[in-house]
Amino acid sequence: MFRIFDNKTREEKLCEKYSRLMHRSYKLALTDKEKSDQLNSRAKKILAELRRMDCDLVESRSEVA
């Protein structure tokens, strides 16, 4: 019912981190291109790690976006 006390899996944590980094990178792209590129490269590394782990969460989110 509620997932208040459930621990998140490593995949879920990485997926959330990837989403946060991509969102920040998108917001910074208008003002600071260099910082945006740094965040984007960090996010791509996380995405590669998630794909290596065969994470279903990434595939479903990338289809939505």
CA gap 33, 8 in Å, rounded:
33
CB atoms within 10 A of CB 53: 14
CB atoms within 10 A of CB 15: 21
pLDDT score at 40: 96
CA gap 64, 48 in Å, rounded:
18
The label of the residue with tokens 């279903």 reads 56
Q: Which two tokens stand for residue 48?
A: 């590669």
pLDDT tens by residue, the chain, 65 residues: 566 778 888 888 999 999 999 999 999 999 999 999 999 999 999 999 999 988 776 665 554 44
pLDDT score at 54: 82
Which pTM does this prediction carry? 0.76
